[in-house]
Homo-oligomer: A and B are copies of this chain.
Amino acid sequence: MKASYGALIETVRAKNPLIHHITNYVTVNDCANITLAIGASPVMADDIGEAADITRISSALVINMGTLNERTIISMLESGKSANAAGIPVVFDPVGVGASGLRNRTVVSVLDAVNLGVLRGNISEIKQVAGMQSATKGVDASRDDRISTGDAVAIAKKLSSDLGCVVAITGAADIISDGQRAVCIENGHPMLSDITGTGCMCSSLMGAFCGAAPDAPFEAAVTALLTMGIAGELAFEAAGGKGLGSFRAALHDAVSRMDAQTLMRRAKIYEA
């Protein structure tokens, strides 16, 4: 199983796919740099006047609603439809859903209009998308939403079947399901939640791997989360004691140096 994930690292570096993002202005620089670090190319273009043009030359689309506004919501929907029409995989990151009516309505609009390849969120966000009660805390997972791995797997499987896409719940342990299969990843480090953008960067990595392997969104999502989790461990080992600024630079270092061997040797993944 691990070999197929390791192989994807080599595929994305060989193919260098172009990944279109409609994303937020808080973490967009991190998303661009992490996309480059794993071997893909980023493009960010959110004007409705070029959504279709840019999507057409891209290999995957990442929709991240972190700093959504009236103008960009329309671009998210139109780019998503263009991606579907062109057969390009779409990764959706419903940042902060539950924190406002606008975010809740936007998620409904995206799910109505766009067929997703992968949906990624923290447990608070995924519970909200699944129509369950959740205790949102802005863009971070709420402590009140912590659940057992078994419960998370059940939620991911059910939502995956309902939406017809891969669902990934990221947190201390990551759960990924395509409705049939489900895996749990136990890589990572708590410092990853102490810098902004690690969730957004996971979605960008998913976009990169989906762009490299458009027919394998489950493997793409898993490889993205293994990459980020292992990079977090390596970054902590290299610089965690210095503080968050050094940890952040080391995280980008680790993603840029990730290879199949490192990924396979360090992966803590099991069927769930």
Write out the residue numbers on chain B whose beta carbons fall within 8 Å of the beta carbon of A66: 44
Contacting A194 at CB < 8 Å: which of B36, B68, B71, B137?
Answer: B36
Q: Does A101 lie at the interface of the complex (its beta carbon under 8 Å from any beta carbon of B)?
A: yes
Residues from 101 to 123 in A contacting B, C-beta threshold 8 Å: 101-103
CA separation between A37 and B243, bound complex, in Å?
A: 9
CA separation between A101 and B33, bound complex, in Å?
A: 26
Q: Does A4 lie at the interface of the complex (its beta carbon under 8 Å from any beta carbon of B)?
A: no
Q: Does A237 lie at the interface of the complex (its beta carbon under 8 Å from any beta carbon of B)?
A: no
How far is the CB of A198 from the nearest CB of chain B, in Å? Answer: 11
Write out the residue numbers on chain B whose beta carbons fall within 8 Å of the beta carbon of A161: none
Contacting A71 at CB < 8 Å: which of B37, B53, B69?
Answer: B69
Write out the residue numbers on chain B whose beta carbons fall within 8 Å of the beta carbon of A257: 243
- Are A67 and B44 in contact, CB atoms less than 8 angstroms apart? yes
Contacting A33 at CB < 8 Å: which of B28, B43, B71, B196?
Answer: B196
Which of A53, A54, A96, A253 has the most chain B CB atoms closer than 10 A to its own CB?
A253
Chain A 122-149 interface mask (CB, 8 Å, partner B; 1/0): 0000000000000011111000000000
Q: Does A261 lie at the interface of the complex (its beta carbon under 8 Å from any beta carbon of B)?
A: no
Residues from 45 to 93 in A contacting B, C-beta threshold 8 Å: 45-47, 49-50, 53-54, 57-58, 66-71
- Are B27 and A29 in contact, CB atoms less than 8 angstroms apart? yes
CA separation between A256 and B57, bound complex, in Å?
A: 37
- Are B70 and A47 in contact, CB atoms less than 8 angstroms apart? yes
Write out the residue numbers on chain B whose beta carbons fall within 8 Å of the beta carbon of A244: 33, 36-37, 252-253, 255-256
- Are B245 and A43 in contact, CB atoms less than 8 angstroms apart? no
- Are B69 and A195 in contact, CB atoms less than 8 angstroms apart? no
Write out the residue numbers on chain B whose beta carbons fall within 8 Å of the beta carbon of A53: 99-102
Q: Does A212 lie at the interface of the complex (its beta carbon under 8 Å from any beta carbon of B)?
A: no
Q: Does A249 lie at the interface of the complex (its beta carbon under 8 Å from any beta carbon of B)?
A: yes
Which of A30, A57, A71, A242 has the most chain B CB atoms closer than 10 A to its own CB?
A242
Write out the residue numbers on chain B whose beta carbons fall within 8 Å of the beta carbon of A101: 49-50, 53
Q: What are 30 of the A-B contact pairs (CB < 8 Å)?
A: A24-B44, A27-B29, A27-B32, A29-B30, A29-B196, A33-B244, A36-B194, A36-B196, A41-B138, A41-B140, A42-B139, A43-B139, A45-B96, A45-B100, A46-B67, A47-B102, A49-B69, A49-B100, A50-B99, A54-B99, A54-B138, A57-B136, A194-B256, A242-B253, A243-B250, A244-B252, A244-B253, A245-B249, A245-B253, A246-B249
Q: A27-B29, A37-B243, A41-B139 are in contact. List 11 more A-B contacts (CB 8 A).
A: A25-B28, A29-B30, A33-B196, A37-B194, A41-B140, A43-B138, A44-B67, A45-B100, A58-B138, A245-B252, A248-B249
